[in-house]
Amino acid sequence: MRGPPLKDQVALILGAQWGDEGKGKWIDMLAPSCDMVVRFQGGDNAGHTLFIEGKKHVLHLLPSGIFQKDMTCVLAAGMVINPNRLLAELSELKPVQDVGPGKLWISARSQIITPWHIHLDKLKEKEQAIGTTKRGIGPTYTDKVARSGLRMSHFIHESKRQAWVESMKTQPGFAENLEEQAEEWQTFHEAARLVAPFVRDTEHEVRKAIAAGRSVLFEGAQGSLLDIDHGTYPYVTSSSTIAGGAITSIGMAPKAIQRVIGVTKAYATRVGAGPFPTEEDGPIGQELARKGKEFGATTKRPRRCGWLDLVALKYAVEVNGCDELILNKLDILSEFDEIKVATAYQHPTLGKIEQFPSDGDTLQECKPVYATLSGWDEDLSQITDKNQLPEAVWVYVRFIEEFVQCPVSMLGNGPERGHAIPLIEESTPQPIAQSLREKAQRGAIRGSESASSAP
Ligand code: IMP
């Protein structure tokens, strides 16, 4: 199934939680109406799972538009790229999709993840674990900002690459690493020749495409709450995952992006350590994990699960300027008697908090204040039309929209391309609207004590 055509020429889709919102499927669905899909940050720490004709594909570096014919896919300047993993991903994909330099363009400005950076990431995790993917992401961005990184344009240039290796020998442990991981370093050097044909000034090409009126979709990886500045620092990734990250990655006018689409699950998950106020570590969390198959696409780690946090979602909507939300994996919530959503936090000394705290420690100390909504028993996975949705689903969706002040444009009700229920530009069907009004009058949506004023 094709997604609805994008109404705007330049759009951006990103995660509105801690990653793993299921962005890949939506990018793949929206991509047919675009000429170009651009990944703008992160590296192979991402894991975008797509189910195409029943077959599972996990992409780590390649944009999720890669399966579309006549589509240019771009890895832009803000990315960190492990050349060995890029080549492995391309060769894994070969039986399904032969990706050549005509289809995939890689930024000459992107930074290279080397075996050294992966080694440092693992070492740091031993000293101070935050639960990274151990893919070398943090140390590569560290070197970039310290101006000692290896840029793609130098990587593919033999003598410049060797000069970088020489310059790094002053760093304690680097020379030893060259010996200890000699095999990895050898494949690393060999990869340069194979990656070179894909490399271009992609930022110039993207700006040119936009100016020529071509349709461009920017693809975010990870999630807004993992953003280096605006996420739950230090339990974050090392890149700008929010909408603004696309602007700096390409070097383009902020107004170039006409539409920002946030993807959220109908509940919440997180991998790795860090604050997660609505986490359910008992049977509810286990049930969400089982039904939602919540295991990391990159690390296979079980994900922490809990209820949807509307304080955090509202924050993500604001930080990104979301024009619409896609509410994904709604089918997983079937058969819960009641469904909770956090509408505020209770802090031991600060009292009730309605704004997402800037400090991770404060968030860690917060308990969620919940509103409780009725569940539904119906299996949503076969529904294709919004008119078939149970009333309780409408209550849930409208509650979210009203709280975060952003419309929900699509519902996700299963892993396949076709599992999507569009709500775009359509109002709640009349009989359901009437029934919702009655429900609200009867007080059928309960707030916990301090959340009784929730919308
Ligand atoms: P790093 O990006 O490997 O440095 O990991 C930093 C944090 O971001 C850890 O908590 C990871 O679990 C998390 N993280 C990184 N990439 C993803 C992703 O694609 N989905 C969800 N979490 C991620």
- Greater confidence (194 vs 448) lies with 194
Whole-number pLDDT of residue 416 = 83
Whole-number pLDDT of residue 455 = 29
Token readout for 412 is 């996700």
Does pLDDT of 381 surpass 70? yes
Contacts of 25 (CB under 8 A, 6+ apart): 49, 50, 51, 64, 328, 412, 415, 416, 417, 419
Report how far ligand 1's centroid is from the alpha carbon of 91 (Å). Answer: 24
- Write down how long the chain is: 455
Mean pLDDT calculated for residue range 22-41: 91
What is each CA distance from 208 to 100, 250, 252, in whole angstroms? 21, 11, 10
Is the CB of residue 154 below 6 angstroms from any atom belonging to ligand 1?
no
Is the CB of residue 45 below 6 angstroms from any atom belonging to ligand 1?
yes
Report how far ligand 1's centroid is from the alpha carbon of 424 (Å). Answer: 31
Ligand 1: nearest atom to the Cα of 20? 20
Is the CB of residue 272 below 6 angstroms from any atom belonging to ligand 1?
yes
Is the CB of residue 31 below 6 angstroms from any atom belonging to ligand 1?
no
- Answer yes or no: 48 catalytic: yes
Is the CB of residue 19 below 6 angstroms from any atom belonging to ligand 1?
yes
Report how far ligand 1's centroid is from the alpha carbon of 426 (Å). Answer: 36
Is the CB of residue 297 below 6 angstroms from any atom belonging to ligand 1?
no
Is the CB of residue 241 below 6 angstroms from any atom belonging to ligand 1?
no
- Answer yes or no: 347 catalytic: no
Is residue 425 very low, low, confident or very high in pLDDT (cuts 50, 70, 90)? low
Q: Comparing C-alpha atoms, which of 11, 195, 23 is closest to residue 110?
A: 195
Whole-number pLDDT of residue 312 = 98
Q: Comparing C-alpha atoms, which of 371, 296, 380 is closest to residue 330?
A: 380
Token readout for 109 is 């400005």
Whole-number pLDDT of residue 426 = 55
CA R_g for the chain = 22
What is each CA distance from 450 to 68, 302, 365, in whole angstroms? 49, 32, 17
* Amino acid present at 46: A
Is the CB of residue 238 below 6 angstroms from any atom belonging to ligand 1?
yes
Mean pLDDT calculated for residue range 220-231: 97
Q: Pick the catalytic residue from 28, 35, 48, 57.
A: 48
Does pLDDT of 197 surpass 60? yes
Whole-number pLDDT of residue 450 = 37
Report how far ligand 1's centroid is from the alpha carbon of 271 (Å). Answer: 7
What is each CA distance from 26 to 220, 253, 320, 343, in whole angstroms? 12, 25, 18, 27
pLDDT tens-digit map of 292-332: 999 877 777 889 999 999 999 999 999 999 999 999 999 99
**H helix runs in 76-136, sequence order:** 83-93, 115-127
Ligand 1: nearest atom to the Cα of 271? 12
Contacts of 328 (CB under 8 A, 6+ apart): 21, 22, 25, 26, 263, 264, 265, 266, 411, 412
Judge if the upstream peptide bond of residue 234 is cis by omega within 30 degrees of 0: yes
Residue to probe by mutation, ligand 1, list 49, 80, 82, 271, most atoms within 8 Å of CB: 271
Residue of the CA atom closest to atom 23 of ligand 1: 222
Across 236-240, 398-402, 451-455, least confident range: 451-455
Ligand 1: nearest atom to the Cα of 137? 4
Are the beta carbons of 382 and 438 closer than 8 angstroms? no
Ligand 1: nearest atom to the Cα of 133? 3
Say what the pTM is.
0.92
* Amino acid present at 359: D
Burial 364-387 (b: 16+ CB within 10 A, else e): ebbebbbbbbbbbeeebeebeebe
Mean pLDDT calculated for residue range 391-403: 96
CA distance 93 to 66: 10
